[in-house]
Amino acid sequence: MSKLFNIRFTWPVPVLLGGLLIALTANAAEPASLREAAQARGKLVGFAMFGKPGLDAKYDETAVREFNVVVCENAMKFGCVCPAARGQYDFSVPDAIVGFAQTNKVKVRGHCLVWHFQQPNWFSRGEWSKHEMGDILHEHIRTMLTHYKGKVFAWDVVNEAISDSKDPHEIYRKDNYYDVLGPEYLDMAFRWAHETDPQARLIYNEYGTEFGGVKFEKMYQMLKGMKARGVPVDGVGLQMHIGLGAKNQTQKLGSTIRKLGELGLEVQITELDVAIDLPCDDKKLQTQAKIFGDIAATAMEEKACTALLMWGFTDKHSWLPQFSNGKRGCGLIFDEQYRPKPAYSAMLKAMTK
Ligand code: XIL
């Protein structure tokens, strides 16, 4: 004991301080993971989980090491959670994902309650009156938010409601919700979600709006109107399914986030991937890394941006090849063997202060 005591005090103070400084700077310069880097900046960094936990140990390990928020890639969608008949919910897969997240202190985003795609057949093929469809939607929102109350901190309440038309006056996508309920379905959905779980952050999620343009303007006006009517919308999800062409556009992301922030909305980047036209090569990977790095830096710097999630993390499990007939892929930050790609290092660097 006395020997230890002696040793401690025989080290000159400047050496001790110097050592401490090196330890601190080494730590600051090199967080062990994206999760650690994001935590230090008070932000969330995350991924969409394909399938469910327990299928591949390497996948699960990498996920909890790197991320502090998860979203189900498919499991919470209407068509997945309620496939067979009205009122018959099967929560087994999303519950497994939520349980895995809780065990590993990872937050959960909910995706998504109202969407034109991946609806159950019993619903999309049905003929509904306005009253019936309103009832079904209300019931679905109430069921989901009751089941996940206190477990899902943010919900994509409405996904992809804005029309892709270049016509600035054509605001809404003409899907079955719009056709039967009219544009009021958006306000209704947010109000119903808020009435069931007043604590949840309620998000409007959209693609193709991150760098401004006609579609962004439509979304902005729609959200401004909702805010003015007192609709409980808390934030916007920018999906960000982009490609290498985004290289010269990333500087526009900051102003998009600030404009939405000025409306009193938080911004979450919800589905980032940077698709590459296959085959992939080193040059393309470097361009991709630059894009991921720029976006991560903006997400960290902009106060209104609270989260950055990618639509997966390993190229082994990505929707891109399947959705482009094998033409595009390689859009995430780990390769198929779970090795970090240049995009991973660029993100880590950009997120480290
Ligand atoms: C995709 C999934 O990744 C696929 O597995 C599924 O077959 C179709 O949907 N925008 C969204 C996501 O909001 O839900 C989509 O996910 C990708 C585009």
Neighbours of 169 (CB within 10 A): 7
If you take atom 5 of ligand 1, which residue's CA is the nearest one? 319
To test ligand 1's pocket by mutation, which of 47, 50, 72, 74 has the most ligand atoms within 8 angstroms of CB?
74
In angstroms, rounded to a whole number, what is the distance separating the alpha carbons of residues 192 and 140? 10
Q: Are 73 and 48 in contact (CB under 8 A)?
A: yes
The pLDDT profile of the chain, 353 residues, written as one tens digit per residue, is 334 434 443 445 444 455 544 445 445 567 999 999 999 999 999 999 999 999 999 999 999 999 999 999 999 999 999 999 999 999 999 999 999 999 999 999 999 999 999 999 999 999 999 999 999 999 999 999 999 999 999 999 999 999 999 999 999 999 999 999 999 999 999 999 999 999 999 999 999 999 999 999 999 999 999 999 999 999 999 999 999 999 999 999 999 999 999 999 999 999 999 999 999 999 999 999 999 999 999 999 999 999 999 999 999 999 999 999 999 999 999 999 999 999 999 999 999 98
CA 73 – ligand 1 centroid, Å = 7
- How much distance in Å is there from the Cα of 74 to the middle of ligand 1? 7
Q: Is the CB of 319 under 6 A from ligand 1?
A: yes
What is the number of residues in the chain? 353
Give the Cα separation of 194 and 233 in Å (integer). 9
The amino acid at 315: D
Give the Å distance between the CA of 236 and the centre of ligand 1.
17
With H, G, I as helix, E, B as strand and everything else as coil, classify residue 181.
Answer: helix
Pocket test for ligand 1, best of 158, 311, 316, 318 (most atoms within 8 A of CB): 311
Q: Check if 159 has its Cβ closer than 6 Å to any atom of ligand 1.
A: yes
Ligand 1 centroid from CA 111, angstroms: 10
Q: Does residue 78's CB lie within 6 angstroms of at least one atom of ligand 1?
A: no
Cα of 295 vs centre of ligand 1, distance in Å, is 21
Place of tokens 């980047």: 269
Cα Rg of the chain, angstroms: 22
CB atoms within 10 A of CB 310: 28
Report the C-alpha gap between 200 and 212 in whole angstroms: 27
Counting ligand 1 atoms within 8 A of each CB, the residue from 113, 157, 317, 323 with the most, and so the one to mutate, is: 323
74 Cβ closer than 6 Å to some ligand 1 atom = yes
All residues at 6 or more sequence positions from 27 whose CB lies less than 8 Å from its CB, including other chains: none
- Which residues are tagged catalytic? 160, 271
Task: Identify whether the C-beta of residue 133 lies closer than 8 Å to the C-beta of residue 181.
Answer: yes
Instruction: Identify the pLDDT of residue 30.
Output: 74
Q: Whose alpha carbon is nearest atom 16 of ligand 1?
A: 73
Q: What is the pLDDT of residue 353?
A: 84
32 Cα to the center of ligand 1, angstroms? 30
Q: What pLDDT is recorded for position 29? A: 62
